[in-house]
Amino acid sequence: MRVDTATGESTRLPQPDTVVTGGIDGLYWHEGDLIGVQNVTNPGRVVRIALTDKGTRIADLTVLQSHHHPDFDEPTTGTIANRALHVIGNSYAGHYQPDGAIKNSADLKGTAVIAVPLRR
């Protein structure tokens, strides 16, 4: 989404059909690109979203860390430091049940913070 700061109006950025940007649960600006943490609607992963045309469209998406990381279980928010996104790899958000119980709670591990290099 692009937001006009003068009017507050938001518009969805056009993107190639091959790019999937849904399910982003953390979005960061880094050296002219957007770094996103995707979960829920996609297998959890960290992506770099390249913009073109002064930020008016999405040009490309590169996976920086796939869902194959052993500590990824609903990755979520993080912070950028030392040329890496330090992301919470296992929020376990998908384990919460409608009644507030936690599914398979005995299988949960401590919080894993994963440093994903922001390479080009």
The pLDDT value recorded for residue 113 is 97
> Average pLDDT in the 63-74 region?
91
With respect to residue 60, please indicate whether it lies within any of the assigned structural domains. Answer: yes
The better pLDDT of the pair 65, 73 is held by 65
Give the whole-angstrom CA distance, residue 104 versus residue 95: 7
Instruction: Give the tens place of pLDDT for each residue, 11-61.
Output: 999 999 999 898 898 899 999 999 999 987 767 899 999 999 788 899 999
> Average pLDDT in the 86-90 region?
95
Range of 78's domain?
7-117
pLDDT for residue 89 is more than 80:
yes
The pLDDT value recorded for residue 42 is 67
What is the residue-averaged pLDDT of the chain? 91
Q: Closest Cα to residue 32, out of 13, 52, 14? A: 52
With respect to residue 34, please indicate whether it lies within any of the assigned structural domains. Answer: yes
With respect to residue 42, please indicate whether it lies within any of the assigned structural domains. Answer: yes
With respect to residue 107, please indicate whether it lies within any of the assigned structural domains. Answer: yes
With respect to residue 40, please indicate whether it lies within any of the assigned structural domains. Answer: yes
Considering the entire predicted model, what is its pTM? 0.86
What is the helix, strand, coil percentage profile of the chain, to 5?
10, 40, 50
With respect to residue 1, please indicate whether it lies within any of the assigned structural domains. Answer: no
Count of structural domains, the chain: 1
With respect to residue 23, please indicate whether it lies within any of the assigned structural domains. Answer: yes
The better pLDDT of the pair 42, 72 is held by 72
With respect to residue 29, please indicate whether it lies within any of the assigned structural domains. Answer: yes
For residues 22 and 41, is the Cβ–Cβ distance under 8 A? yes
Give the whole-angstrom CA distance, residue 34 versus residue 52: 12
pLDDT for residue 116 is more than 70:
yes
Give the whole-angstrom CA distance, residue 105 versus residue 111: 13
